[in-house]
Amino acid sequence: MNYDKKTIRDIDVSGKKILLRCDFNVPHDKKTGVIHDDTRIVSTLPTIRYLLEHNAAVILLSHLGRPHGQWKQEMSLFSARDHLEKLLGIPVPMTTDVLGPDTKAKCAALQPGQVVLVENLRFRIEEEKNDPEFAKELASLADIFVFDAFGCAHRAHASTAGVADYLPSVAGLLVEKELAFMGKALDEPQRPLVAILGGAKVSDKIGVINSLLQKADTIIIGGGMSYTFQVAQGGTIGTSLLDADHIDYARDMIAKAKAQGVKLLLPTDNVVTQDFAADAPSRVVPSREIPDGWMGMDIGPETAACFTEAIQGAGTVIWNGPMGVFEFPAFAAGTNAIAQAMSTLENAVTIVGGGDSVSAVEKTGFASKISHISTGGGASLEFLEGLELPGIVCLEDR
């Protein structure tokens, strides 16, 4: 996939109507609409502001939740709109339909320097189906398509890819930043490149491990997925998470890493408990020798020290997935150690990719010391996997 895409900086947007796909799919209270985390809204502000300052008229598009083509009031974008109004300090009118008469009237009347938000696109079934007629009608509202919803880049929907068939299409500033950091980290990283993978399931990260074996110098595996690797090495893991369908795969990855000269680091000790509970009594045992009835909840101190040492020598670090059940403070030490090690690197590029790892790094308080925190969970995983992302591929090459 070519990462060198045209952006809003490369084209003249003055006096033009822009269809700007954002990701306002923010965690919120379904009853009160209160937004729990506004990161996705805040991260699109530079693009919205740039367009308004350069005399464009901006039609904002987003989805929220999974209404599957039904009008569901609790998935209306109104709280995102209210929040955006506060952040931008200008009125953000919203449409009362999706591509109906109200959308068409409001978009037709829109003037440069003004903004309007279209109601949740997924209220129409054609959005997720990437219906060409729907995409064409959407495109007819504007002159240019700007894609800034990196978190949705792996979806081929009407508003993330379909409209690009009908309009000149470029990246927004958030997508530009994501491509710059993640693309460079994969294509021409400052070496050594250390990739850290954790989280619950091996199956989620299969493609990523395979792809990183071609690119990384060191791969660190912790978290729930590491126990399958311990079984692949002939160990016992008690009641720890096991992805039984992927034991052979894990064995294969260990062999491949060896053959290709990639350092693959696995835990050597684990914090284990008898219950999956925040206050369960714990002890530290050697990995691959976890007793019956005990489950791994975190990497142990020896492993944390070893992983820290590997991170300290890195030129680039990419991290996706916690090292343990970090939601329980007693089992967050391993995850914290990774965040801390990354935060102390002076001349390295550090990237945290999406989802739970982002909440983990924010919990540790080291987020401001990380070079780039990706806004895409699934999208950044697919990016690391080397897959073509429909929301990116459809943009014009520079």
Catalytic residues: 40, 201, 355, 378
Please state the φ and ψ torsions of residue 75, each to the nearest 5 degrees.
Answer: -110, 20
The nearest distance, CB 108 to ligand AMP, in angstroms, is 43
Q: Which of 151, 162, 300, 322 binds ligand AMP (CB under 6 A)?
A: 322
Residues touching ligand AMP, count (CB under 6 A): 16
Q: Which helix (H) or strand (E) holds 280?
A: none
Q: Is the preceding omega at residue 291 within 30 degrees of 0, hence cis?
A: no
Contact 58, 97 (CB under 8 A): no
* End-to-end CA gap in the chain: 13
Count helices and strands (H / E) in the chain: 16, 16
The nearest distance, CB 286 to ligand AMP, in angstroms, is 16
356 lies in the site for ligand AMP, by CB under 6 A:
yes
The nearest distance, CB 362 to ligand AMP, in angstroms, is 14
Please say which residue, 162 or 267, places its beta carbon nearer to ligand AMP: 267
Q: Which of 151, 355, 376, 391 binds ligand AMP (CB under 6 A)?
A: 355
Tokens of residue 254, six digits = 């260990």
Per CB under 6 A, the segment of 8-16, 94-102, 129-137, 321-329 that binds ligand AMP is 321-329
327 lies in the site for ligand AMP, by CB under 6 A:
yes
Per CB under 6 A, the segment of 6-14, 20-28, 284-292, 323-331 that binds ligand AMP is 323-331
Q: Residues 128-157 vs ligand AMP: string with x where CB under 6 A?
A: ------------------------------
Q: Which of 42, 45, 180, 200 binds ligand AMP (CB under 6 A)?
A: 200
Per CB under 6 A, the segment of 246-254, 319-327, 368-376, 390-398 that binds ligand AMP is 319-327
Q: Which helix (H) or strand (E) holds 109?
A: helix 101-109
Please say which residue, 134 or 331, places its beta carbon nearer to ligand AMP: 331
Tokens of residue 32, six digits = 């009160």
Contact 120, 64 (CB under 8 A): yes
Q: Which of 72, 129, 136, 201 binds ligand AMP (CB under 6 A)?
A: 201
Please say which residue, 162 or 224, places its beta carbon nearer to ligand AMP: 224
376 lies in the site for ligand AMP, by CB under 6 A:
no
Helices 202-215, 247-260: axis angle to 10 degrees equals 10
Q: Which of 162, 172, 189, 324 binds ligand AMP (CB under 6 A)?
A: 324
Q: Which of 162, 172, 300, 321 binds ligand AMP (CB under 6 A)?
A: 321
Contact 187, 18 (CB under 8 A): no
Closest Cα to residue 268, out of 211, 239, 229, 240? 229
Contact 381, 354 (CB under 8 A): yes
Q: Residues 284-313 vs ligand AMP: string with x where CB under 6 A?
A: ------------xx----------------
Residues 58-117 interacting with ligand AMP (rule: CB under 6 A): none
Q: What is the Cα–Cα distance from 43 to 23, expressed in whole angstroms?
A: 9
Burial class (CB in 10 A: 0-12, 13-18, 19+), 344: middle
Residues 216-245 interacting with ligand AMP (rule: CB under 6 A): 223-224, 241
Q: Got the DSSP string for 30-73?
A: TTT--BS--HHHHTTHHHHHHHHHTT-EEEEE---S--TTS--G
Contact 171, 89 (CB under 8 A): no
Please say which residue, 125 or 278, places its beta carbon nearer to ligand AMP: 278
Residues that bind ligand AMP (CB under 6 A): 199-201, 204, 223-224, 241, 296-297, 321-322, 324-325, 327, 355-356
